[in-house]
Amino acid sequence: MIRDTFEAIVKGINVRQNLSLLKQELKEGNNKHALLFHIGSQYNEMFVRLLSNEDAKTRKNAALVMGGLGIQEFLVPLFQAYEREDKLFVKSSYLVAIGELDYRSLMPQIKQRLEMLSNEKMTEESKKHIQEEMRALSSLVVTMEGVKTHEFTGQEMPADIILLTNRDHIATTMEQLPEGTRARAFNAGIQAKVSSLVEVLPIRTYQELLFLVQGVQTCPMDIEAAAKKVASSKLLSFLEERHDGKAPFYFRVELKTKMEVAKKAAFAKKIALAIEQHSSRKLINTTSNYEIELRFVENKEGNFNILVKLYTIKDERFSYRKESVASSIRPVNAALTVALAKDYLKENAQVLDPFCGVGTMLIERHKMTKANTMYGIDTFGEAIKKARNNAEEARQIIHFINRDFFDFTHEYLFDEVITDMPFAMGHVREEEIKQIYIQFFRKIKEHLADDGVLILYSHDKGLVRKYAPANGFKVLEESLVSLKEGTYVFVIK
């Protein structure tokens, strides 16, 4: 019980250990409020005295408990203890505690201390703890002042880019690049030199846009060497040329490496701190509201390839998709589906989606080739409501009906049926999916024109291959989308 732990501290019993226990107990349930009600302010002086305890770990734990209690009167004693603390490993704990209080009055001192440490030469022995202190100071500044974000203005500037795409359909994105673009395919997508991003940003089939920056495309797998290379490269000029305003820029680090999870997290933390220091805090690491991502990808030589992702570029390709449900198809996969089937799409076609969900497939179908009348049907009422909202955001007219497709009737036939077929997940079992496929291929013949086409995104290749021919259909195209998820695009007549 938290009161028992507190009483043990008051009596001087195993103070260090009980402070550590109290720190954890304060995070549980209503413990904090219960203890504050119990102790009032009569023990404030006891906590302040613990900040002068001869044992460094006791001072550390006391500071963290004081922060956890959130008593504003602790602010000045905590900062005074921080200033006089001579054990480097304790100092960041005072700052963590201060962060739980209203520390606006201390901002000048906090910023001054951060600037001083940024210019201080560190020894190997002190580096780890000083970097921790700098991280804590920086967090206090960012939390109080916020991130002053930059606006991206480099749409018309040339760039070396990486487009990550579906690995089996790189050519689908390659053929959409502006004419004359120098580009090559590699195992994860496309590397290209583009004269501007104006015609690249709207391409709907790439998964991610990354940048290669001159002078910082590779680095050794060494924290100091990598950080110095990033800080001394043309990265800052690259960023400033493409944004309004100057440094600092706020960044995060992403590691793609074979390291163990714990080692990977520690490495990322250390390299982020080193980059911040070597860039004289023109690049500031933050865990939220970051503007750029520095992605370090381990290569075959055991070094890192470095890629830059700009969160300042607003990806508006799928901005219409404001709402979704658990089973919703990823918009980029819907865009890939219609791109793979584009030769079979007719302008001004009558289009039906019998399992429409939130409408993504129909919206992407119309964006590829203008349709005439579009109908979406689904038994899930919430999905239909969301589909209507998404269609409105996309400025498309789609008739959504909350009904079971197998009860659907319509006075005219459809030129195209395009859908993300139901699949086994949650309470929906494989036997139910099998029955849906059996009924679907029977029922759909009532609604498809003689020269009509089925475009199916499916998790169940075997069911398509079995029941389509059994009902007089012929599979014209079969394209793997994801081997991991077992998804395919089928074009069927």
Predicted local confidence at residue 486, as pLDDT: 93
Into how many domains does the chain fold?
3
Is residue 122, in this structure, part of any structural domain at all? no
Same domain? 369 vs 305: no
On whether residue 141 sits in a domain, the answer given is no
In percent, the amount of the chain with pLDDT more than 90 equals: 79
In 10 A of CB 117, how many CB atoms? 17
Give the torsion sign (CA, 293, 299, 304, 305): negative
Of the candidates 150, 482, 433, which has an alpha carbon nearest to the alpha carbon of residue 290? 150
Of the two residues 14 and 427, the one the predictor is more confident about is 14
Q: Which residues have C-beta within 8 Å of that of residue 399, sequence separation ≥ 6?
A: 373, 374, 375, 376
The CA–CA distances, whole Å, from 118 to 83, 172, 176, 409, 478 equal: 17, 48, 46, 71, 58
* HEC-encoded secondary structure of 262-325: HHHHHHHHHHHHHHHHHCCCCEEECCCCCCEEEEEEECCCCCEEEEEEECCCCCCCCCCCCCCC
pLDDT at 149: 87
Q: Does residue 400 lie in a domain region?
A: yes
Q: Are residues 308 and 342 in the same domain?
A: no
Average pLDDT, the chain: 93
Same domain? 393 vs 453: yes
Residue of 370, 351, 364, 393 whose CA lies nearest to 205: 364
Helix ranges restricted to H, 85-160 = 88-98, 107-118, 124-145
117: confidence class by pLDDT, cuts 50, 70, 90: confident
* Residue 423 to residue 445: CA distance in whole angstroms: 21
Separation between Cα atoms, residue 468 and residue 442, nearest integer Å: 9
Out of 272, 288, 317, a domain closes at 317
Strand partners, 298: 304
Domain that holds residue 25: 2-103
Tell me, yes or no, whether 440 lies in a domain.
Answer: yes
Read off the DSSP letter of residue 341. T
Same domain? For 272 and 359 the reply is no
User: What mean pLDDT do residues 41-56 have?
Assistant: 90
Give yes or no: residues 344 and 260 share one domain: no
Distance of CA 343 to the CA centre of its chain: 34
* Whether residue 399 has pLDDT greater than 80: yes
Please tell me the predicted confidence (pLDDT) of residue 426.
66
- pLDDT tens-place string over residues 172-214: 999 999 999 999 999 999 999 999 999 999 999 999 999 999 8
* 30 in a structural domain: yes
* The pLDDT of residue 427 is above 70: no
Instruction: Determine, yes or no, domain membership for 133.
Output: no
Statement to judge: residues 90 and 175 lie in one domain? no
In the sheet where 448-458 sits, what is the strand order? 399-402, 374-378, 351-353, 414-420, 448-458, 487-492, 475-482
Q: Is the pLDDT of residue 419 over 90?
A: yes
More confident residue, 457 or 28: 457
Based on the fold, state whether residues 302 and 338 are members of the same structural domain.
Answer: no
The pLDDT value given to residue 280 = 86
Q: What's the CA gap between 67 and 100, in Å, rounded?
A: 5
The residue assigned the tokens 């487009």 is 163
Q: How many CA atoms lie within 13 A of 109 on its CB side?
A: 11
Residue 46 domain-assigned (yes or no): yes
CATH number at residue 336: 3.40.50.150
pLDDT at position 34, please?
Answer: 85
Q: What's the rounded Cα separation, in Å, for the pair 371 and 289?
A: 40
Whether residue 342 is found in the same domain as residue 285: no
In a shared domain, residues 309 and 351: no
Quick one: DSSP state of residue 152? B
**Exposed/middle/buried for residue 297 (C-beta within 10 Å: 0-12, 13-18, 19+):** middle
422 touches 459 (CB < 8 A): no
Residues 259 and 389 in one domain: no
CB-based contact 483:489 (threshold 8 Å): no
Does this model's pTM top 0.85? My answer is no
pLDDT tens digits, one per residue of 293-323: 999 999 999 999 999 999 999 999 999 999 9
Q: What is the pLDDT of residue 444?
A: 97
Q: Please, where are the H alpha helices in 11-87?
A: 15-25, 31-39, 44-50, 56-69, 75-84
Residue that the structure tokens 């049926």 belong to: 417
Domain shared by 281 and 339, yes or no: no
The verdict on 306 and 338 lying in the same domain is no
